[in-house]
Amino acid sequence: KAGVTQTPRYLIKTRGQQVTLSCSPISGHRSVSWYQQTPGQGLQFLFEYFSETQRNKGNFPGRFSGRQFSNSRSEMNVSTLELGDSALYLCASSLVGEGTDTQYFGPGTRLTVL
């Protein structure tokens, strides 16, 4: 099976712009979670989608949003970019996203905000 794919792999934006990141889960996986990774804060949970519904949300401002499509593909959007949004954004998919269900991560999208 193909793994989790994320596009684009690298992005450079300027402050105030908006960005959309895409994630294609492993075939058959219905849960998609997003994480932000920075050197200072480590890995922080953004949100999780299951069957097109946001099931859980982390502690991020409303500028961060996401959605999931009927084929389980997911997008996240960041509006009005700030310098502090520079990070590696990781997407993870799992069958149903609960208990011992394993999350498999994509390679990430490296976002740089200038």
Partner 1 sequence: AQSVAQPEDQVNVAEGNPLTVKCTYSVSGNPYLFWYVQYPNRGLQFLLKYITGDNLVKGSYGFEAEFNKSQTSFHLKKPSALVSDSALYFCAVRDTLVSGNTGKLIFGQGTTLQVKP
Interface with partner 1 by CB under 8 A: which range of 11-19, 48-56, 63-71, 79-87?
48-56
The reply on whether position 12 binds partner 1 by CB under 8 A is no
Going by the DSSP 8-state scheme, the letter that residue 85 receives in this structure is G
Cα separation of 101 and 108, whole Å?
21
The reply on whether position 85 binds partner 1 by CB under 8 A is no
The reply on whether position 36 binds partner 1 by CB under 8 A is no
Alpha carbon dihedral 97, 65, 11, 114, in 10-degree steps, equals -130
CB of 93 to partner 1, least distance (A): 9
